[in-house]
Structure formats: structure tokens, C-alpha cells
Amino acid sequence: MQELSVLIVDDEAPARVRLRELLGDLADEQPTRVVGEAGDGLAALDLLERAPADVALVDIRMPKMDGVELAQHLARLPRPPALIFTTAYDVYAVRAFELHAVDYLLKPVRAARLAAALARAKALRPPPAEALQALRPEGRSHLSCHERGRLLLVPIDEVLYLRADLKYVTARTREREYLLDESLTQLEQEFAQRFIRLHRSVLAAKEAIIGFARDGAEDADAHWLALLRDVPEQLPVSRRQWPVVKSYARQLST
């Protein structure tokens, strides 16, 4: 039987030890090789980039980046591992997994269940995006993008604005720009709390807006410009969005 490479992702060391032990017990039935252990989603992505795995056993509740968000980013890897969630007790997640036929294991994990999950792993499809987003209604903590074959993670609270160009969306942080392959509409929905739409093609982080200036040139579409902290760019506010933005700005000043 073909050996499977496995990545174990769990924030609790004893839980990782337990999975390792179980995988060892199953070696005759299903040979496996643990290629790494990670304590959170960020560390897992880092490991997977250097050492791709066939299967990732992923805990849901973890600090820094939880298992559900990790799954959202995994899809962007060139060779994503088959994903099996593990959880001690999470009614909502389990219901969502049942609904979308996502494989999961309940902790304490039984060897027989783990063997069955590994046997199916090859055929597993990645969990559907909408199921994952329903489990994390507050939005991801990072955006991910590809750059020269590398997966880059941009913390969402460093993004000052998002701007849609012809094909891509650009995320601007204090230091630089990143190209994302996601749609601005989706991003607007996911991060409605954090960003406000200034223009058909621009979302700005609410907390980054420091003021507004009148646009000198009498353009048909852009009357006002939003000023952001840390970057020299001034972003146009469309006539249609101005009332919304203005009322938000008023909340700010009071």
C-alpha cells in the first residue's frame, strides 16, 4: 500500500502526540509518514509550502489562524493536501460538515475512524468555500496571494485599501501592494465590518481614513477624495457613495 504523508495541525501538544500514536498503530493497515506538526494555521501553511503533504489533520479551534481559515487558504496551494478536520466538541462545525460531506474526526479519535478517513482521503474534495465562510462569519484574519510560486499571507488589519483593476484586486498595506485573485464584491461582503466602499472599484479600511479633501478637477464621477494614513494616495469617492461615506465620516468626528 502506498505511503501517505501526513501533516498534523493542533494547538495542543498532547493531541498531536495522540494522533502520531494512532498513525503508528495503523502502520500495517495504512503506512503513513508524519511530515510535520504545526500548532496553528499560519505555521501549517508555512510547513506545507516547504513540504507538501497528502493529508492534513486539522484542529478547528487554534490561536493565530484557526482550522477553518487554514482550509480557506489551502485551496491556493499548488498541491493542497486532503483535509480532515478534528474537533473535540463543536456543534456548529459538525453540523456544517455533515451538510457538505466534509470529513471530520471527533476527539478523542478512534483508530478505526482515523483509518477509514485516511482510506477515503485520496478521493476527498476540498470543503466548499461557502461552508467554510458560514463557519467564520467574521471573515478571515489574513488574505493570501501567490507571488513567484510562493504563498504570501497579508494580515487583514494591515490592509489600508483594496482596489479593483481590470483583472485583479490590489491590496495596499503601508509597505507595498499585493495582487489578489478574489473579487471585490466578495471581499466587501466578507469584511463588511472593516471596509467601506468609496467607489465602484475601491474599498477603504474604515480605521485608516483620516479625512476628506475636495477634488480640484471637476470630474464627472469623483468629487471628494479620501485621505488615508501612512500612504500618499488619495482615493476618489464616487458621487453615489458620498452620502454613505459622509454619514460614516460624521460618526467618526463626533
Partner 1 sequence: MASIRQNPVGRRLPDFRNLGVMLRLLLGVNLLALAAALVQATQLAAWPARYVEFAAWVEPLLLAGLLLLAALRDLLWRLPYRVAAAAVLVLVALLAALLQDFWRFMGFADGGWAAIARAALLAMGCAGVMLAYFRLRADALSPAVAEARLQALTARIRPHFLFNSLNAVLSLIRAEPRRAERALEELADLFRASMRDHRDLVPLADEIALCRQYLDLEKLRLGDRLQVEWTIDDLPGELRVPPLLLQPLLENAVYHGVEPAAAPAAIRIRFARRGDELSIELSNPVGAGGVPGAGNRMALANIRERLALYYDLEARLEAREENGSYVVHMVLPCRN
| Binding site residues, partner 1, CB under 8 A | 11-15, 17-18, 21, 40, 61, 63-64, 88-90, 106-109, 141
Least distance (Å) from partner 1 to the CB of residue 12?
Answer: 4
Beta carbon nearer to partner 1, 24 or 31: 24
Beta carbon nearer to partner 1, 18 or 146: 18
Beta carbon nearer to partner 1, 13 or 244: 13
Beta carbon nearer to partner 1, 130 or 157: 157
The b-or-e profile of 31-54 (16+ CB within 10 A means b, else e) is ebebbbbbbbbbbbbebbeeeebb
Beta carbon nearer to partner 1, 65 or 237: 65
Least distance (Å) from partner 1 to the CB of residue 108?
Answer: 4
Least distance (Å) from partner 1 to the CB of residue 15?
Answer: 6
- Largest alpha-carbon pair distance within the chain? 75
Least distance (Å) from partner 1 to the CB of residue 74?
Answer: 20
The cell for 130 is: 461557502
Angle formed at CA 48 by CA 42 and CA 51, multiple of 5 degrees: 145
Least distance (Å) from partner 1 to the CB of residue 107?
Answer: 4
